[in-house]
Amino acid sequence: MALVWEKRVGDCHYQVRSHGASVRLFSNGVFHSQWNPRDPLKGSLWELLLLPAFFCPPAQIRSVLLLGVGGGALIRLLQRFVQPQSIVGVDLDPVHLQVARRHFGVREATLVCADARDYVANLVANLRASGKKGSFDLVIDDLFGHVGGEAQRTVTADSDWCRNLLELVADTGVLVANFGGRREFLASGWRAPELRRELKGSWTASLPAYENCIFAASRSALSMGTLHREAPAAINPQNPSGRLQARWQRQR
Q: Where are the domains of the chain?
A: 39-250
Task: Strand 201-206: give its sheet, edge to edge.
Answer: 110-113, 86-91, 63-67, 136-141, 169-179, 213-218, 201-206, 247-250
Mean of the per-residue pLDDT values of the chain: 95
Dihedral angle computed from the Cα positions of residues 84, 86, 90 and 93, in that order, rounded to the nearest 10 degrees: 90
CATH architecture of structural domain 39-250:
3-Layer(aba) Sandwich (3.40)
Query: What was the pLDDT predicted at 145?
Result: 82
Query: What was the pLDDT predicted at 6?
Result: 97
Is the confidence at residue 149, as pLDDT, over 70?
A: no
pLDDT average, residue stretch 131-142: 97
Q: What is the per-residue burial (b if ≥16 Cβ within 10 Å, else e) of 209-223?
A: ebebbbbbbbbbebe
Is the confidence at residue 58, as pLDDT, over 90?
A: no
pTM: 0.97
